[in-house]
Amino acid sequence: MSSPPGEYAGGLVKTTGPAIEAGAVGRIDAVLLSHDHHSDNLDPAGRELLAHAGTVLTTPEGAARLGDGAEGMEPWTSRPVGDGVTVTAVPALHGPPGSGPVTGPVTGFVLTAPQEDTVYVPGDNAPLDVVREIGERAGPIDVAVLFAGAVQIPRRFGGAYLTLSSDLAAMAAAILGVRTAVPLHFEGWTHFTQGPDELRVAFAYNGVGELLALPERGGWLSL
């Protein structure tokens, strides 16, 4: 379900191949795509996989680029997906304030269903102020799937992170008051600067170690 190691658009370098083959995933009801214009979010194999998904939700700009089968959602709009699930697009910023014109538009999502946990998928969001807004408007949040990795661009944005650092991910979990935090998007590419070890330390240091659920590569995580 992802491309092999190598250099991809924008000079991003991938170091690991797919953990499992696309056919092992089973039926894909929906794809929640933070953005399409960075290879670490959508590589060539991922683009091919979109054609087999029931619904592809992303930014309006991304949907225009992807064409048929992709649906763009403005922040705070909602639509049903599957049996009783509502997906709401929520704001996200891929870096510090003012970085949007450089990093491009991104989106996050909140998933709700009757008698089920509310799940927040922030996409490549970095600022905690955005996390607070989501918690205030869409909370309570039960599970947060946090895009981490502490991505930075040398000599850009004063060294500010473009995704959550490990400390910021732990703080986001505390701000939201979740029962479980699942970090993703922190391994397999050379521009990720922090991985599972840093996440474990940061969550423990911030007093939320019991919230951390780190998925094993190629495995299933029961929440």
Average pLDDT, the chain: 94
d(CA 3, CA 140): 36
Are the C-beta atoms of 146 and 105 separated by less than 8 Å? no
Instruction: Count the Cβ atoms, other than its own, within 10 Å of residue 14.
Output: 18
Burial bucket for residue 30 (CB in 10 Å: 0-12, 13-18, 19+): middle
**Three-class DSSP category at 85:** strand
Half-sphere exposure of 31 (CA within 13 A, CB side): 30
Of 163, 128, 124, nearest in space to 36 by CA: 124
Task: Give me the domains of the chain, ranges plus CATH numbers.
Answer: 74-211 (3.60.15.10)
Task: Of 57-61, 86-90, 101-105, 215-219, give the lowest mean pLDDT range.
Answer: 215-219
pLDDT band at 1 (very low <50, low <70, confident <90, very high): low
- For residues 194 and 186, what is the distance between their CA atoms, to the nearest angstrom? 7
Over residues 209-214, mean pLDDT: 98
β 31-32/12-14 pair status: unpaired
Ranges 62-66, 96-100, 155-159: which has the least confidence: 155-159
Question: What pLDDT, in 10s, does the model give residues 26-53?
Answer: 888 999 999 999 999 999 999 998 988 8
Query: DSSP H helical segments within the chain, as ranges?
Result: 44-50, 60-66, 100-103, 128-138, 166-176, 196-205
Q: For residue 81, what are the β-bridge partners? A: 85
The sheet that has 56-58: what strands, in order across it?
A: 31-32, 56-58, 70-72
Query: Angle at CA 106, nearest 5°, toward 105 and 110?
Result: 145
Q: Which residue has the tokens 């403005």?
A: 74
Mapped onto helix, strand or coil, the DSSP state of residue 79 is strand
Average pLDDT of span 64-78: 96
Q: Go through the chain and tell me how many residues it has.
A: 223
What CA–CA distance (Å, rounded) separates 25 from 4?
Answer: 17
